[in-house]
Amino acid sequence: MRAGDEFAAAAARTLRAGIAVLDRDGRIRWVNDAWTRVTAAVPILAGATVGTKLADRSRSLRDPIGEIVASAVESVILKGLPYFEFEYPATGGAVRLSIAAEERGGAVVMCTEPTTGLAGPPVVRRVDPIRLAGRLTPREREVLVRLADGLDNRAIARQLGVEYSTVRGYVRSLIEKLGARSRVDVVGIAYRTGLVRRTEVE
């Protein structure tokens, strides 16, 4: 399993999300165990297994949501969009689908398990990494790189020469500014949008 796949697998274990990794042609080359469980509850992803060309499969369903999925995959793989995310109503709740460019070409697709609370038409987000980076202070960027390196708050505090409570405040600020659910989600967003690159944390 390559480094990108390992990161995707770690994110999936933590976020209980289904992960599929696509090659440069948009064909699924790897999925985690949760992908099968999650996609069973998401009709537009039914049958999307290893070897499936996701955009073609989604478009063949002749469904507006399938067309969104196909266009999103093609935008990330072919047109260089770094990140695409949308939510839509589904049986038993809502589904969030995130598609992020992978460093070597292709993409990583993350589908969260259905949750409650969303009604109405799909909600689409295109993330602009430059605008996202502009929300962060230089110190928040330093903390973000160290979070991506796997350091806990105490280790970050030691490296930066600040109090533990100060680092906690920076982490809370990162969660809020990036619209994340947790510190792990912060790291996932940072990688997916290019705010942090692997060379910064090696």
> Which tens digit of pLDDT belongs to each residue from 96-145?
788 888 877 888 888 875 444 444 444 444 455 556 666 788 999 899 98
CA–CA distance, 97 with 192 (Å, rounded to integer): 13
Architecture category of domain 129-201 in CATH: Orthogonal Bundle (1.10)
Selected from 3.30.450.20, 3.40.50.720, 3.40.390.30, 3.40.120.10, the CATH number assigned to the domain covering 3-126 reads: 3.30.450.20
Rounding to the nearest 10 degrees, give the CA dihedral for residues 37, 178, 69, 13.
-20
The residue extents of the domains of the chain are 3-126, 129-201
Whole-prediction pTM value? 0.53
> Which tens digit of pLDDT belongs to each residue from 52-88?
999 999 889 887 778 888 888 888 888 777 777 777 6
Cα 74 to its chain centre, rounded Å, is 16
Matching residue, tokens 């809370």: 172
